[in-house]
Structure 1
């Protein structure tokens, strides 16, 4: 069942006037009366609480106040003595005429511009400065604020608050300082409600004064509740200044929050002054400093060197991990110890003297020292204080034992390498001498002897001699000494001389007396090279003779011999070309062979060229060439490809003139063809003659005279005999023809 709405006051009065009430009506009446009583009690309590809150607020901010109805009458004031100022500020009441209100510059305030009137007109004033003068001439300077009171959407009155600032002559300066402080300053109530911020506060929060006033401080940064770490809460609890540092992610800042409680005469906190200092840069600097310290410690501990910091007296102030491990002590045990605690007395004394020298001179010092069988490279570096005196000495000590061993080995290798370079330079010098165009063997031996000493370990004390077939080639001052190294010169298995290197004075012992193992290999190499050079010269002489003989044969050859390259044409052609084609060798040099091939032979020529390109030799290739006079010559070519680096680059050709042979073959072919025609004509001629003879013989039988008939028969027999002889010759001609064909002569 739906509940019925509570009756109104008018309905209750009507029910009371009605004498006849049924039970249900009585029940509703009782419930309505109880509800009204409860509401009245609640309203009374709320009114008392609101008045208390208003008085507390006015007391907290140190201001006086009054509330007006919509006609401008004072309906509530903080104290009776203030009603005169209240009515003067509203412009209404019997005392308004006894008080004048003006601006700080002396201009009077018109009745319609009074704070109460302006608030009743809907305007909201903030700290308006006014001067009030009463009938006795007393001047009161006020800071006035006024706000309209809105009820059910309509202005039902006004609330005006003021503060007597008569004695505060420095208020403008104070207000200016407050507004322009670089740090954030805010005033809030104990429940975190914001009363005011200075300009820096509004700027960092990104709000206007109107948007900030009356809101909770934590809501201004987007939080639903107070901060976990809150200086204001601590100040409220302790009744004294509280300071906290925290990072505010909503602002992206590190802040130092300082909250100072303001107490009333009862010792209660009425509001809190909160100062916020942006310490982001300081925090970053501290983080960077800590990171720098961590980095410095990491850099100090990372190297393998021993790094310690000493005072001028030799006491250890700090050390890296390498030093701690090397001394075998903990950091706590090591810090504060002196040199005498760590080293034997003589060593400690030596180190103390060096420290004293660095402390006095102010200049770094470096030295190498052995410690427990290891070699160390140590640097002492002075650290100066603010007054310029040396207050610390940084010591770095690097174990260079392995490095020194490597350096010694490297020096040895470098020495060996330099020796090998000298040996190679000697060989290179001899190679340049041997390969010089036009040089003779005597010049080679003479210059090689001069180069030889440069390849030995002590060239300034070395001398050399090369002996070939009893002839000697030596350096100046050469003489045989006990310190001699020699190697034979062999040509085609026969020893023809020797290469000798001597030291003219005694030298330190090495692998072979004073000589190195590599120097033995060098003298043997030089001797072998000279032997091969002699063989090369002999082979070159033999080759020149052979080439001369070959060229002479080529020049006198009956056949045409030529060399042709793919990219350069004919490079050489023998003089026989003059007889065969009528061209001189100079006219054909650089020309392409194909340019002189008759068109009828080009297909055969191209087939032969393809074989040559594949690296195949070609034999018996018959090509028809054009002579200089326009006639043709038949050449039988034998071609051999020229191959270099697995590529065919040209061809060697020997061409034999077979023009006469080709002509004879053509004549012979014509003769045989004529014989064929004659034989065929002989066979036809016998048949053509015999048939008429038979006719003549038959007709002779018609004659009566035996003598005429006999004579005709006799002539016919003679003609048949001739024909028979012709037939016999035809048979023999066929036999001869078959014989010729059988033996490929026809």
Structure 2
């Protein structure tokens, strides 16, 4: 009986018939009727199951899906088109195939769609990828649902659809969209998509960079609002494209951006033929516009440059026909530019020049080098230049004929040639004069060397130096060039020093020359010899002055060196430049130790206010006299100096100071001693006065007491001694009065 559940209804009926003899009649009838009803119900269920299976397969086939049915234990009840299908094997967890998520993560066996449905999950249109070794990957969309009976999962259904072709198409479309998006974003020109009412949907990267805005800031704005306008542009390509329903192109300058833009608006229509979008392309043509403007300006400049010169400029082709001409050419030939174009340029040359001109044209065309010739027209002389004009390949395609009126120049050259000789003479004279100045200004040169060098260069300043000789005589000395001799052709100038003639300068020609301003000599040569003689005289005066100055400086230096006063010169920038040796005796420093130092560095702090006051007066250009200043000696002691200062002025500015400092230290010390002595005398006088008062009072007491004793001899003796002491006190008073008078006398005469 334990295996009855495994028997079919027919086997159960046969089994009951075998057991019928055991049952009573009524029980057999009731059992038979129940079994027959059960068999009938079982048949009906089998028919419905078969029909449901057919309907399921038809439905899955209609939607392009296939399926798997599981029982509650996870066993496959049905699989269409069977377990041999690669997708079915992957969904069932086969070993030779695998299932992964779209991102590439493998699906664990426990997470297969069937298993998840058996756990009560419901999956709808989940995407998976099926992998098998050596096979192409398949893409499927899977749905799974649990079968619920009596509130419990009794099985599960899994359906799938092969969407490999759709996925491949989708991926190709995504790649194409990515490529198109990349192209759109990376276009160098600005591309924008907008609605017909100019509402911006988006721009590419160049557009956002031009505006300096983010996509969020741009979306939904009107195109004209983005550049700060409140109304559309007067000429709008989008407006024209909306009206014409075709692409429109507009060039305009946008002052808000400071750029020239070429705007191309192209309409995009939907499947109904309605205008859906406008694709606007903006090309920055600022450089092109500026180039065009520059080209126009260049052409205008070229025309202005062509017309500006005084030269006749004509551009001809290789056959000599005029292509262009400047304003000077139209004036010279008395024809307009339009009339000149096409005429052969050789018609305007002199009758004897066409052959020469043709030969020059051939030469320029063949060699590519300019050629030059002269032509005379209407009594005017012209310098003509044929200049090759090359094309892009470097060949000569045009020839520029440039003719300059050189009539005045030729006349000027003739006049210039007539003056060249005179100019050369002046140059020689100036060169000689410069050489004399250079010789005289040489440092450390002697007077004898000056005379010797000057006499050698003198002939070079005259018109005919090859025949000129020279001589200088001064203070009994004679300096001459080789071969000098006096001739009838002689020029002389005296040398004067301090109003006294001390010598002469001679220049002679050794042979006769043509008559000029002064015999064979020019007036300029007279001026030259007088100038040289004058320079030599002033040079001799300068040498004498220098000798006198050197003697004076030597004497002054000796005086300063022997002076008991400290004498020094100090400059604002360089400090002490000179200081006499007396500084060693006064301050204990050698002159070398103080050179370059500031004198202020050695002033005692107590004297700095007086020192600064003196410096203020010096800076104003005022002298300072009797300034008493304390200086620190090298050994640390203090010396008193009385300074007399005078400013050094150059170019109206004070640059330093000359100072003479006298050592008054001993005098200051004597004054201090004398002051102390007088102070002591004054104290002594006061003490004398107090002492007299102190003595008189006891004497009066003694004298009064003696009179009370009534002893004649003793009283007389005491009075006698009191009078004697009183006389001493009177003498002290007289001495005190005399001392005070002496002190007042000394103060009055500034001796105290």
Match of 1:706 in 2: 712
Task: Using the TM superposition, give the Cα deviation of residue 734 of structure 1 relative to its aligned residue in structure 2, in angstroms.
Answer: 1.9
Q: Secondary structure at the match of 2:643?
A: strand
Verify the 8 A CA contact 1:358 1:382 in the aligned structure 2.
Answer: no
Verify the 8 A CA contact 2:456 2:480 in the aligned structure 1.
Answer: yes
Q: 1:522 aligns with which of 502, 519, 528?
A: 528
Task: Using the TM superposition, give the Cα deviation of residue 583 of structure 1 relative to its aligned residue in structure 2, in angstroms.
Answer: 3.1
Cα 1:564–1:399 shift into 2, 3 Å: closer
Any idea what the Cα deviations from partners look like across 1:461-501, whole Å, max 9, x if unmatched?
43322221332212223333444333222111112122233
Match of 1:643 in 2: 649
For 1:199-210, list aligned pairs within 5 A: none
Cα 1:523–1:603 shift into 2, 3 Å: same
Task: Using the TM superposition, give the Cα deviation of residue 426 of structure 1 relative to its aligned residue in structure 2, in angstroms.
Answer: 2.4
More deviation, 577-586/679-688: 577-586
Match of 1:305 in 2: 312
Verify the 8 A CA contact 1:358 1:381 in the aligned structure 2.
Answer: no
1:460 aligns with 2:454: no
Q: Distance in 1 between matches of 2:463 and 2:657?
A: 54
Verify the 8 A CA contact 1:378 1:395 in the aligned structure 2.
Answer: yes
Q: 1:572 aligns with which of 568, 572, 578?
A: 578
Match of 2:685 in 1: 679
State TM-score, norm by structure 1: 0.52
Cα 1:460–1:630 shift into 2, 3 Å: same
For 1:303-382, list aligned pairs within 5 A: 304-305=311-312, 348=351, 350-351=352-353, 354=356, 367-368=373-374, 370-377=376-383
Match of 2:733 in 1: 727
For 1:84-103, list aligned pairs within 5 A: none
Match of 1:488 in 2: 494
For 1:398-413, list aligned pairs within 5 A: 398-409=404-415
Any idea what the Cα deviations from partners look like across 1:188-245, whole Å, max 9, x if unmatched?
xxxxxxxxxxxxxxxxxxxxxxxxxxxxxx979789xxxxxxxxxxxxxxxxxxxxxx
Any idea what the Cα deviations from partners look like across 1:143-165, whole Å, max 9, x if unmatched?
xxxxxxxxxxxxxxxxxxxxxxx
Q: Distance in 1 between matches of 2:602 and 2:451?
A: 53
Q: Distance in 1 between matches of 2:638 and 2:501?
A: 61
Any idea what the Cα deviations from partners look like across 1:10-45, whole Å, max 9, x if unmatched?
xxxxxxxxxxxxxxxxxxxxxxxxxxxxxxxxxxxx
Match of 2:697 in 1: 691
Q: Distance in 1 between matches of 2:445 and 2:561?
A: 30
Q: Secondary structure at the match of 2:608?
A: helix
Task: Using the TM superposition, give the Cα deviation of residue 656 of structure 1 relative to its aligned residue in structure 2, in angstroms.
Answer: 1.2
Verify the 8 A CA contact 1:462 1:502 in the aligned structure 2.
Answer: yes
Verify the 8 A CA contact 2:346 2:357 in the aligned structure 1.
Answer: no
Cα 1:510–1:379 shift into 2, 3 Å: farther
Any idea what the Cα deviations from partners look like across 1:327-360, whole Å, max 9, x if unmatched?
76899999999999999xxx84x44675687799
Verify the 8 A CA contact 1:339 1:352 in the aligned structure 2.
Answer: no
Q: 2:451 aligns with which of 421, 445, 448?
A: 445
Q: Distance in 2 between matches of 1:296 and 1:555?
A: 81
Match of 2:435 in 1: 429
Q: 1:663 aligns with which of 663, 669, 678?
A: 669
Task: Using the TM superposition, give the Cα deviation of residue 676 of structure 1 relative to its aligned residue in structure 2, in angstroms.
Answer: 1.0
Verify the 8 A CA contact 1:489 1:495 in the aligned structure 2.
Answer: yes
Match of 2:560 in 1: 554
Verify the 8 A CA contact 1:679 1:730 in the aligned structure 2.
Answer: yes
Verify the 8 A CA contact 1:445 1:466 in the aligned structure 2.
Answer: yes
Match of 1:470 in 2: 476
Task: Using the TM superposition, give the Cα deviation of residue 411 of structure 1 relative to its aligned residue in structure 2, in angstroms.
Answer: 5.2
Cα 1:690–1:440 shift into 2, 3 Å: same
Task: Using the TM superposition, give the Cα deviation of residue 631 of structure 1 relative to its aligned residue in structure 2, in angstroms.
Answer: 3.2
Give unpaired runs (5+ residues) of structure 2.
1-242, 249-261, 265-297, 390-397
Match of 1:261 in 2: none
For 1:585-600, list aligned pairs within 5 A: 585-600=591-606
Q: Secondary structure at the match of 1:701?
A: helix
Q: Distance in 2 between matches of 1:295 and 1:642?
A: 63
Cα 1:631–1:357 shift into 2, 3 Å: closer
1:738 aligns with 2:744: yes
Q: Secondary structure at the match of 2:479?
A: strand
Q: 1:634 aligns with which of 617, 626, 640?
A: 640
Q: Secondary structure at the match of 2:751?
A: coil
Cα 1:613–1:222 shift into 2, 3 Å: closer
Match of 1:531 in 2: 537
Any idea what the Cα deviations from partners look like across 1:91-112, whole Å, max 9, x if unmatched?
xxxxxxxxxxxxxxxxxxxxxx
Task: Using the TM superposition, give the Cα deviation of residue 592 of structure 1 relative to its aligned residue in structure 2, in angstroms.
Answer: 3.5
Q: Secondary structure at the match of 2:459?
A: helix
Q: 1:615 aligns with which of 600, 618, 621?
A: 621
Q: Distance in 2 between matches of 1:537 and 1:506?
A: 38
Q: Distance in 2 between matches of 1:631 and 1:394?
A: 96
Match of 1:70 in 2: none
Q: Secondary structure at the match of 1:664?
A: helix
Across the aligned residues of Structure 1 and Structure 2, the Cα RMSD in angstroms comes to 4.7
Task: Using the TM superposition, give the Cα deviation of residue 440 of structure 1 relative to its aligned residue in structure 2, in angstroms.
Answer: 1.1
Any idea what the Cα deviations from partners look like across 1:222-270, whole Å, max 9, x if unmatched?
89xxxxxxxxxxxxxxxxxxxxxxxxx999xxxxxxxxxxxxxxxxxxx
Q: Distance in 1 between matches of 2:674 and 2:501?
A: 68
Cα 1:644–1:222 shift into 2, 3 Å: closer
Task: Using the TM superposition, give the Cα deviation of residue 593 of structure 1 relative to its aligned residue in structure 2, in angstroms.
Answer: 2.7
Q: Distance in 2 between matches of 1:636 and 1:650?
A: 19
More deviation, 529-538/420-429: 420-429
Task: Using the TM superposition, give the Cα deviation of residue 681 of structure 1 relative to its aligned residue in structure 2, in angstroms.
Answer: 1.6
Verify the 8 A CA contact 2:314 2:322 in the aligned structure 1.
Answer: no
Verify the 8 A CA contact 1:639 1:651 in the aligned structure 2.
Answer: yes
Q: Distance in 2 between matches of 1:638 and 1:293?
A: 80
Q: Distance in 1 between matches of 2:631 and 2:340?
A: 108
Cα 1:629–1:397 shift into 2, 3 Å: closer
Cα 1:583–1:508 shift into 2, 3 Å: same
Verify the 8 A CA contact 1:308 1:323 in the aligned structure 2.
Answer: no
Cα 1:674–1:420 shift into 2, 3 Å: same
Q: Distance in 2 between matches of 1:738 and 1:649?
A: 48
Match of 2:611 in 1: 605
For 1:112-151, list aligned pairs within 5 A: none
More deviation, 372-381/672-681: 372-381
Give unpaired runs (5+ residues) of structure 1.
1-217, 224-248, 252-291, 384-391
